Amino acid sequence: MDLNTIWFLLIAVLYVGFFLLEGFDFGVGILLPFLGRDDTRRRMILNSIGPHWDGNEVWLLTAGGATFAAFPHWYATMFSGFYLPFLLLLVALIIRGVAFEFRSKDADPRWRALWDGCAFVGSLVPSFLLGVAFANLVRGVPIDAAMNYVGGFWNLLNPYALLGGLACTLVFTLHGAIFLSLKTAGELAADAQRAALRIWPLAALALLGYFGATYFATDLLTKLGIDPGVVPVGMAAAILVTGWLVRTRQMGWAFAMTALSIASSIAIVFMILYPRVMISSLNPAWSLTIYNAASGATTLRVMTTVALFLVPLVLVYQAWSYWVFRKRIEPRPESLTY
């Protein structure tokens, strides 16, 4: 296995980590106006992700930085072609972060309602845009022989990509509801479990429908054949069994199953791409690959050495932070930060 493949796999792992962790993070934000019937409940919801949301976003920054360093042509083509969606994504993430920090600065209900709305929008918009972006990566976008994106904004809003955005949003919302049921106590935890039960059929239908559409919108059939393989079957089985686990109140296992379905979905994206990193819909020969889009061998060797040292430290630190803040959030206003 050469360094190009290793860095392709590492970037895939970074995106899996981001979608797993920020997935329930975004889902909690989306559920805020629906489960937060009063200020105490809204504070409980925000405190459930308060210690983690900024750390979870680091996975996206790291994935972007790794892409820039290891595959600069991929970074340049993707970020220039997807400029407007990524700008909207960045603005939404900024608004979301500001909302978490500002809402507790004033007890005025109108002030808190404003920032609660921003937290909701800042969670919903990125969830949808990320699904749209990854769907376009596997579907293919107009890229010319010079590695330039030559399409427009509306090329990205095709039916397949919109379905990907919808599936991503619903699965994140389900993931967040299950997380809330595990992280909070009392009536809110019970309401989150009931919300997960209502969301699950929609999320399962959207995700399975998106995977079915992938056979027609991409070259998945050529790459994997009629037999979908272990990873796609695992994704489908995980999202289907989630509903039964939620119904029987096995929420820990349900959370593991939504995590598996998300991880499998991202794995399928990178399985379709490899060895490409961006697919040209104009001419397959113009697609960007892990070789023509990569940095030099020296750069990849230095990056690999640094990553072998730093990545385990980051993983240990983040695991420790989740362990420290593992207790359920109780409905006691005096103990709530946000």
In sequence order, which residues have a C-beta less than 8 Å from that of residue 133 and are 6 or more positions away? 82, 85, 86, 156
Pick from 287, 294, 266, 259: nearest CA to 182: 259
Bridge partner list, 97: none
| pLDDT of amino acid 225 | 61
What span, in angstroms and rounded, lies between the C-alpha atoms of 167 and 91? 22
Of the pLDDT bands very low, low, confident and very high (cuts 50, 70, 90), residue 227 is low
Share of the chain above pLDDT 70, in %: 98
Q: Of 265, 260, 246, 78, whose CA–CA distance to 164 is shortest? A: 265
List CB contacts of 177: < 8 A, sequence separation 6 or more.
27, 31, 192, 193, 195, 196, 199
Q: CA-to-CA distance for 21 and 43, rounded, in angstroms?
A: 20
Instruction: Report pTM.
Output: 0.94
Tens of pLDDT, residues 13-59: 999 999 999 999 999 999 999 999 999 999 999 999 988 888 888 89
For residue 93 the two structure tokens come to 């993430």
